Amino acid sequence: MQLSKTEEQVMQYLWKLEKAFMKDILAEFPEPKPANTTVATLLKRMYDKGFVNYKLHGKSREYFPLVKKSDYFSKHVNGLIKNFFNNSASQFASFFTSETNLSVSELENLKKLIDNQIKEQKK
């Protein structure tokens, strides 16, 4: 299941805070802040989709993510590679390195990461 852009924004705040009451989430939003009812609706949808859960503290709900940020991001990147790059990580890497204006230093760091991953997989 996918999250909408506004749901993703709320997830970003929850990942950052790890657990939060609605007032804490609202405090993370830039001005103008959304209405309480808007955030409550987003959290309800995210709960229904299985992305968040909550603990009751009296009448207040303390929300926490059920999905790790890295897992969510990984699924998105893999979907992007599948849908836009014919399921080819090489095509994605070629596009990424040529179209994102990376500096020489950033490209060298990427090369080191790739070289290290190659070493790990050869073990």
Q: What are the sequence ranges of the domains in the chain?
A: 5-65, 69-122
Cα–Cα distance, 16 to 64 (Å, whole number): 10
* pLDDT, tens digit, 9 for 90 and up, residues 73-119: 888 888 888 888 888 888 888 888 888 888 899 989 988 988 899 98
Task: Identify the pLDDT of residue 46.
Answer: 97
The sign one gets for the Cα dihedral 7, 8, 10, 15 is positive
Rounded to 10 degrees, the C-alpha dihedral 78/81/83/88 comes to: -120
Domain 5-65 sits in CATH at 1.10.10.10
The pTM (predicted TM-score) of the whole model is 0.74
Q: Are 91 and 85 within 8 A, CB to CB?
A: yes
Distances (CA, A) of 48 to 3, 58, 70: 11, 21, 21
